[in-house]
Amino acid sequence: MSIDMAQFHQVFFEESFEGLDVMENGLLNMNPGEADAEEINSIFRAAHSIKGGSGTFGFTTVSDFTHVMETLLDEMRDGRRDVTSEGINVLLASVDVLRDMLTAAQDGGDADEERVKASRADLDRLLAGGDAAAAESGGGDQVEEASAEPAVQEPIGWKIVFRPHQHLLRTGNDPLRIIRELEELGPLDAECDTSSLPALRDMDPEESYLSWDLRLNAPVDKALIDDIFEWVEDDCDFAVVPVMPEGFDPTAAVPEPDAADQVEPAKAAEKPEIKEAPPAVERRQQQGDRRKPAAKSAGAKAGGGGASSIRVDTGKIDSLINMVGELVITQSMLGLLGEDFSIDKLPRLREGLGQLERHTRELQESVMQIRMLPISFTFSRFPRLVHDLSQKLGKQIELKMSGENTEVDKTVIEKIGDPLVHLVRNSVDHGIEMPDERVAAGKPETGTVHLSAEHRGGNIVIEITDDGKGLARDRILDKAIERGLVKEDDNLSDKQIYELIFMPGFSTAEQVSDVSGRGVGMDVVRRNINELGGSIEIDSEIGKGSTITIRLPLTLAILDGQTVVVGEETYIVPLVSIIESIQVKSNMLNMVAGKGETFKLREEYLPIVRLHEVFNIEEPKATEINDGIIVVVEAGGRKCGLFVDGLLGQQQVVIKSLEANYGKVEGVSGATILGDGSVALILDIPGMMRLAADRDSQAGLAMTA
């Protein structure tokens, strides 16, 4: 049979990796000393599936390795082995190794042999250490036994006594099937014993009453015969006696065959011969041959590459299809209307266009929904991370998670992982204290790190909260002054001080640990999050803990924007960044040293960024502050005013990458195509802030010089 097994590999790998996640999560949920049957069962099931699949699809090293894990899990499941923290750790490590093996197999290579060996040795040691070491029983026993039976003299055939128990038919087995199979081994003589057959009216048609004396005239291996009877050995009496050549007494040759004594009376009077004509066998073989090509042609190779796929809830697809249906209806309605249009049909046209707009928007939302994945894809790695880290550091930490089902754009899922790992590591490493420190501070020994996600007003908010020691405000300030990041007489709020840890090159860890690195990462974390169009904030209380809040836009592909006009150009300002738009009189302007042009808005001095200056617009309509409008925007906790000619309107825009089509432009995050076909640039507000800051510091330098 030539079925190309490679076509199933992709699915096998996908489900195996899912299985590994199940195993990992299950293992992390297990507590030493407690055997939660359901938990172990699901871990076992995952291992079992991986083993079965890898064996079937030809990844024998994987299945051998998984077999050892499975044996260990099986013993835990049956209560033959205690669940120890060592056992959990060894299994966790072997899950990692297994993941490497599968990844390697997927890429067509082999995993690091040394690691596999080491992990295998750990598992074997654990297995051998337990009292259930004997549980490792080879399955081939029966066959080996049979074939190992020393045959002093080769038999020329076999005499088989087959006496089904009455319930045999109700196991789905059929005596005829067994006899036919025997026939395939060689020429077979069959005699049927009907002596147990009751009178017709006493007969239960569901019972089996017949017995057979069979003689197989071929010197086949006894194991082959045993194989045929394997399924029914408990549902019948059967004996296999070798037929020896010339004058051999068959009954004497085999000492005490299992059921020979019961079978003896079977040699009774009436023995109608049932004899299948040999052609039947041939016919069947022909059939088998005919089937082969069919399977072959169907076995066309399916692409086996490592293409990334996305699992979409069928509900989402259904709603998409519905939407498309609506769209088609609207389209045909409009088409009909257009065929002979007269001005009195204008209201119907308007109505139709309104519907078209609504359905298009719904369709758009549905399509965006497909890209939305629950954030649990990202969160799922943290239990393991926290488990491993706390073991390494000797801390006791409980990780709580909430809102794992909050849906986030796939790109966000992919990009938010690393920053989150960094932040959680920080909380575990620097936030949570050692158990004795915690007890001394009157806190429970076990620290808590809480990871949560939720939708809040068009944003995804991810929070990492720990009940550790909190940020050391004074130490951060000292460090910042020492590094020249701030001046000693700068009057900073707590919040502004905490913000300092996001400055490049800032680190307060007295001892650099290999867990959270050197602290240089926080500025990178902020940059990564800003690139996703999000923001990060930190809040902390000494002795109580810290909370890091990350805000991210729901999607990266569409943005609610305010269109503004400067000269002949149109720009888009992301609506989320806008606080308000106001007209400013020139007498409200101030020139502040180091800050350039500013204006006062409710006790705050905000720098003004003139867009026509930034983008070198030739003929702006407004150069005087009185003539234009100031759009007050906020990013990263700072505000500024963008000076534009005027506001146009609000609209949703589809973001097109400028970088991919042109190149990176400072202060611009992308571009979009407007309804009239023209291109408008989307302003990058954090970038504008940086531009303003650079310009101001230059201006400041110029002024002080």
Partner 1 sequence: MAASILAVDDSASMRQMVSFTLKGAGYEVVEASDGVEALNIAKTRSVNLVITDVNMPNMDGITLIKELRGLPSYKFTPLLMLTTESGADKKQQGKAAGATGWIVKPFNPEQLLNTIKKVIS
Confirm if 468 and 447 have CB atoms less than 8 A apart.
yes
Spatial contact of 480 and 486, defined as CB atoms under 8 Å apart: yes
For tokens 């042009």, the residue is 597
CB of 236 to partner 1, least distance (A): 12
Q: Which residue has the tokens 């995952």?
A: 46
Of 141 and 340, which has the nearer Cβ to partner 1? 141
CA dist., res. 348 & res. 146, Å (int): 86
Q: Rounded to whole angstroms, how far apart are CA atoms 423 and 385?
A: 12
Considering only residues 288, 306, 354, 504, which one is a binding residue for partner 1 as defined by CB under 8 A?
A: 288
DSSP summary character for residue 395: -
User: Could you say which of 1, 148, 152, 343 contacts partner 1 (CB under 8 A)?
Assistant: 1
Q: Are 561 and 555 in contact (CB under 8 A)?
A: no
Which of 114, 204, 206, 510 binds partner 1 (CB under 8 A)? It is: 206
Decide if residue 230 touches partner 1 (CB under 8 A): yes
How many residues are there in the chain? 705
First to last CA, the chain: 87
- Distance, in Å, from the CA atom of 395 to the CA atom of 435, rounded to the nearest integer, reads 6
| Residue 57 found at the interface with partner 1 (CB under 8 A) | yes
Give the residue from 548, 550, 581, 407 showing the smallest Cα distance to 465. Answer: 548
Selected binder of partner 1 within 80, 125, 177, 455 (CB under 8 A) = 177
Position among 140, 303, 442, 663 found at the interface with partner 1 (CB under 8 A): 140
For residue 601, the tally of other CB atoms under 10 A from its CB is 17
* CA pair distance 534, 465, nearest whole angstrom: 18
Do 625 and 612 form a contact (C-beta atoms < 8 A)?
Answer: no
56 part of the interface to partner 1, by CB under 8 A: yes
Which positions from 295 to 334 touch partner 1 by CB under 8 A, shown as an x/- string? xx-xx-----------------------------------
The Cα 69–Cα 44 span in angstroms is 9
**What sign has the CA pseudo-torsion 112, 118, 119, 123?**
positive
Q: Exactly one of 29, 31, 166, 171 binds partner 1 (CB under 8 A); which one?
A: 171
Residue with Cβ nearer partner 1 (301 or 585):
301
Q: How far is the CB of 17 from partner 1 (least distance, A)?
A: 12
Stretch that binds partner 1, among 115-123, 294-302, 396-404, 655-663 (CB under 8 A): 294-302
Smallest distance, Å, CB 278 to partner 1? 17
Catalytic residue among 48, 359, 430, 612: 48
Q: Out of 284, 400, 487, 518, name the contact with partner 1 by CB under 8 A.
A: 284
Q: By three-state DSSP, how is residue 628 classified?
A: coil
Selected binder of partner 1 within 199, 294, 310, 660 (CB under 8 A)? 294
Q: Does 641 bind partner 1 (CB under 8 A)?
A: no
Does residue 604 have an active-site annotation? no
> Minimum distance from CB of 684 to partner 1 (Å)?
44
- Window 59-88: contact mask with partner 1 (x via CB under 8 A): ----x---x--xx--x--------------
The region of 131-139, 448-456, 493-501, 575-583 touching partner 1 under the rule CB under 8 A is 131-139
The distance of closest approach from Cβ of residue 142 to partner 1 in the complex, given in angstroms and rounded to an integer, is: 9
- Considering beta carbons, is residue 302 or 679 the nearer one to partner 1? 302
- The yes or no reply on residue 25 touching partner 1 (CB under 8 A) is no
By the 10 Å C-beta count (0-12 exposed, 13-18 middle, 19+ buried), 583 is classed as exposed
DSSP code at position 61: H
Which of the stretches 56-64, 157-165, 645-653, 667-675 binds partner 1 when contact is defined by CB under 8 A? 56-64
Contact region with partner 1 (CB under 8 A), list: 133-141, 153-161, 437-445, 593-601: 133-141
Count the site residues for partner 1 by CB under 8 A: 51
- Per-residue string for binding with partner 1, 427-466, x by CB under 8 A? ----------------------------------------
- Residue 656 has which token pair? 């097109």
3-state secondary structure of 202: helix
Question: Cα(636)–Cα(499) distance, rounded to whole angstroms?
Answer: 9
**Residue whose C-alpha is closest to residue 154's, from 254, 225, 223, 221:** 221
Phi and psi dihedrals of 702, rounded to 5? Answer: -60, -40
Q: Toward partner 1, which CB reaches closer, 55 or 383?
A: 55
* Residue 52 found at the interface with partner 1 (CB under 8 A): yes
Span interacting with partner 1, options 8-16, 241-249, 361-369, 477-485, rule CB under 8 A: 8-16
Buried b (16+ CB within 10 A) or exposed e, 300-314: eeeeeeeeeeeeeee
Active site residue 422: no
Position among 113, 154, 204, 234 found at the interface with partner 1 (CB under 8 A): 234
Beta bridge partners of 625: none
Distance CA 447, CA 394 (A): 12
Interface residue with partner 1 among 33, 139, 305, 442 (CB under 8 A) is 139
Min CB(60)–partner 1 separation in Å: 9
Span near partner 1 by CB under 8 A; candidates 45-53, 462-470, 619-627, 644-652:
45-53
Q: How far is the CB of 223 from partner 1 (least distance, A)?
A: 14
Binder among 20, 26, 39, 53 for partner 1 (CB under 8 A): 53
Can you tell me the distance from the alpha carbon of 403 to that of 497, in angstroms, rounded to the nearest whole number?
Answer: 30
The catalytic residue among 9, 24, 39, 70 is: 70
Which of 139, 675 has the CB closer to partner 1?
A: 139
Catalytic residue status for 426: yes
Q: Pick between residue 6 and residue 481 the one whose CB is nearest to partner 1.
A: 6
438-to-445, 446, 474, 512 alpha-carbon distances in Å? 6, 8, 21, 21
Q: How far is CA 201 from CA 194, 198, 205, 669, in A?
A: 16, 8, 10, 90
CA 615 to chain centre: 44
Question: Which of 185/461 has CB closer to partner 1?
Answer: 185
Q: Which residues inside 535-554 make contact with partner 1, applying CB under 8 A?
A: none
Confirm or reject binding of residue 134 to partner 1 (CB under 8 A).
Answer: no
Annotated catalytic residue within 407, 426, 433, 528? 426
CB of 122 vs partner 1, minimal distance in Å = 20
Nearer to partner 1, 152 or 298 (CB): 298
Name the strands in the sheet holding 589-592, side by side, starting at the edge strand that comes first in the sequence: 578-582, 629-635, 638-644, 604-610, 596-601, 589-592
Please choose, out of 227-235, 399-407, 411-419, 555-563, the segment that lies near partner 1 by the rule CB under 8 A.
227-235
Closer to partner 1 by CB, 53 or 130: give it.
Answer: 53
Question: Left, alpha or beta for 628 (phi > 0: left; psi -120 to 50: alpha)?
Answer: beta
Residue 220: name the closest of 146, 162, 286 by CA: 146
Exactly one of 25, 61, 84, 173 binds partner 1 (CB under 8 A); which one?
A: 173
CA distances from residue 535 to 228, 420, 666 in whole angstroms, order as listed: 70, 13, 19
**Residues in the site for partner 1, rule: CB under 8 A?**
1, 3, 5, 7-9, 11-12, 14-15, 42, 44-45, 48-49, 51-53, 55-57, 63, 67, 70-71, 74, 137-140, 169-174, 177, 181, 206, 230-231, 234-235, 284, 288, 291, 294-296, 298-299
Residues recognised as catalytic: 48, 70, 426
